[in-house]
Every structure is written in C-alpha cells, then in structure tokens.
Amino acid sequence: MPVALPPLTAFVVGVAAVVLLLVVWDLPAFLGLVIAAVLVGTTNAYFLPDIAFGNVPGSVATAFGNNMAGIGIPILMAAIIGKSMLESGAADRIVGSFRSHISDDHMDFALWGSSSFLAIPVFFDNVFYLMAPLARSMRARIGKNYALYLVVVGAGASTTHVFVPPTPGPLAVADQLSQGSGSSILGTTILVGLLVAIPAALIGGIAYGRFINARIDIPLRDAMGTSAEELEERANRDAASLPGFLESALPIFAAILLVASSTIVNAFGDTYPVLQNYAPVTSFLGDANFALTVAAMLAALTYLRMDDFPRHVWQDELTDALQNGGNIAAITCAGGAFGAMLAASGIGGFIAGQLQSIGIGLLITAWLIAAIVRIAQGSATVAMLTTAGIMAPLVPQLSVHPAYLVMAIGAGGNICSWYNDSGFWLVKEIGGLTQAETLKTWTVLTTLVSITGLIAVLVYSTLFPLA
C-alpha cells in the first residue's frame, strides 16, 4: 500500500465530512464535528493496523476528554466572568475608561494593545475569554464596529501566541532549536518575536479589521449567557451606577498576575535558580483552572453587589452562564477531537517529510511544513512542535540567527484556522458569530498574520541576519 494513501485519504474524508455536515446540511456544530471525527477515525482503522476499528469511538471520546481536561474549567469560568462583567456593568466601566482617554476612531488600537499584552503570560483562549466581554460591551455602547473589535482582539492574542516567548508554542520551539544551535536563543527570540508580531498584527488586525468592518456589519447576538437586548440596555446606564474601575478590572488583573507568576518562574528559573524555590506555589496559583476560578469569583461577587438581588436569583443567573459555557466547551472540544483524529492518521509527518526534500530555503521550508501541518490537523502548537522537531537538526546550516527559524515556524503554524481547529469554534461561540462570519474574520485574519509574518521574517533576516 502506498505510504501516502492512509493520511491523504483521512484528510480528504475529514474535509468532505465537515463541508457536507456543517455547510451543506447545517447540522449543529457539536454533532457534525463528532460524526466527522468518527469518520476520520474509521478511515484510520481501515488503513492502519495499529488502530483497532472497535476502539474508534473510544478514541474520539478520549480526544474529546483530553481537550475538555485542558479547557473545560477555564471555559466555564470564563462564562461566569463574561456574564458577571456584562451584567454588573464592569465591562461598561472599562469601556468607558478606554473611551475617556482614546477616541472611538482609535479604539481598535487600545483593544489590540490590551490583547497583545495579556497574551504574553496567558494562553490565547484565556485572552479571548477575558477580552470578548469588552468587545461586546463596546459594540453595544458605540453601536458599530463589532467585526473590527473582534479581529483586533484576535490579532493581538494570536500574534503573541505564535511569535513571542514565554508563550508556550514559541518557547518550546526556541528550546528545541537551541539544542541544535548549542546555546540558548530565548532572549533574541523574544526581541525578534516582538518585531515580527507588530507588522503581522497591524496588517492582519488593524488594516484587515477596518477593511472587513466596512463590508460586513456583525450584529450583537445572544452569547456568553447575555442577550443583545440586555447589552444594549446596559450600555446606556448612568456611570454613577457602575462599579469602580479597579473593582471592574480586578478579575482580569487577577487572572493575568496569577498565570504570569507561573510563566515567569518557568521561563527564568534556569537563569535565576532561586525562582525554582517558588515553582510549586506558582504552578498551583498560575494554573489556568485556578486562576480563572479566582477571577470568576471576583466577577461574580461584583455582580451580586451591584445588582443587589436575592442569592437564589444570583445562583440561577450564574447557572445560566454555566449552561451556555457548557455548549461552548462541547463544541470547542469536539473540534479538538476532530483534529486529533486527523493527526492520528500521520498526515503531519507525511507532509513534513515530503516538503523537507524539496530543496528551497530553510526559512520558507519551515513555514510551508508548519502551514500544511496546521491546515491538515488544526492545532497551531502541534504544527509548530512537529516542524521544530524536523528542522532542529538543520539549524547548523542556517546563515541567519535561529530566532528567525522560530518565527517562520510560528508564522506557518498560525495559518488558516478553520473547522478542525478548536480555536475557530471558540471564537465563533464566544463572539456570537455565524460560521460564515468566523471564516471571513478569524480565518482570514490568521492567514494574513501568517503571510505577513513570513514576509517580515524574510526582510529582517536579510537586513539583520544576526548570525
């Protein structure tokens, strides 16, 4: 049997399944993604002897559970944070503070800067949980520009996620390539990552956000346990009835500081060994499950104080938020399970092996490998780590600093987030978007960031090779 047949067949089956089930038949996303995952798993079992046919449903469930273990509690807590911040007026207070210092015409820069900063210590999905309520509240208050706000939030978070250590993806890639170069490249990677992230976010976020915002008007829909009507009513509340800025922003600040404590110790523990003494404590405090639980409690208590209703009503409101969060978590994890079944087919390794022998420049080769693996199996992190493992032995052949190779891999791994990426469904559900709107905003944004990032890498590495 040709070695290309199993992975390519699984990929074709997966793409055909999601198009038929989600686009043509318009099935609920969770149902369609689970069916597509089972079909891909069945295809794998037919071709690959180490995958038993009888284990396919269990493998899909295991992949779903693994995703839920990673993001289930954070998503549910984020639902409470979003509901509480919107209903209590905390999101309105933060938006009002932005508007008092920044004109509405430049609000996109404020959101971009905020999401970029937050994403350095916090995972992309957690940034979107925290920033989405602000984008929704801003849309309700200003009455327009929702597509722009979502795109710039996504651009800030996604560029940092793939370009700037100590976020996990580029940190792990830099570590692998450091082994090939014989010395640490972390410091240079952070600097180069910032230089690449800025033009990528400006083009993919600000420029494209303004372009698409002028062509589509995305309305506010019910999402995160809050209806559009409620948001619009609350947007016109008197400022005196809102909580103070510090109390309003405390859930966000708390989550950032807790997660950042673990990130800093992990990133600099080898350089400053004394930090390792605090690792057990910061690992506990900085775990996203704990950090977002703390943030959820802070937001919920503000909600209780500001609305001053009986405890049982408050409990019912939070339960409604959890029900909505459960739907988001289910869809997001189903998308992750679909991607895991594609990855099990070996599509990533097959594509990487084919491209490695083409003979083009190492930076472009790395970008192509990461991009195709990303499109095939969904996960940006998996695409980046797969490519890093392939490229690490080739680091001595580089004529430029290995940090540029980290950037090329990150750019490729960010391309074209679509149905097999759990992030696609997270943006869709938390943002209250349709599938078509998510493709026009989020999918195009990630592709532009990828291409712009590659161009920036090629330009910088030519002008400043740093070798």
Give pLDDT tens digits for 169-194: 787 788 778 876 666 687 788 889 99
What confidence score (pLDDT) does residue 371 get?
92
Task: With cut-offs at 50, 70 and 90, classify the pLDDT of residue 440.
Answer: very high
Mean predicted confidence (pLDDT) in 307-317: 86
Number of domains in the chain: 1
* Residue 120 pLDDT: 64
Q: Average the pLDDT over each of 146-150, 179-183, 220-224, 455-459 and give the range with the smallest value.
A: 179-183
What does the alpha-carbon distance between residue 274 and residue 110 come to, in Å, rounded to a whole number? 36
Angle 350-375-352 from CA coordinates, rounded to 5°:
25
On the 0-12 / 13-18 / 19+ scale of CB atoms within 10 A, 445 is: buried
pLDDT band at 39 (very low <50, low <70, confident <90, very high): very high
Structural domain boundaries, residue 415: 5-463
Q: Residue 74 is encoded by which pair of tokens?
A: 């954070």
Its pTM stands at 0.71
Task: Tell me the mean pLDDT in the region 277-284.
Answer: 91
Compute the CA torsion angle 178, 179, 181, 182 (nearest 10 deg).
110
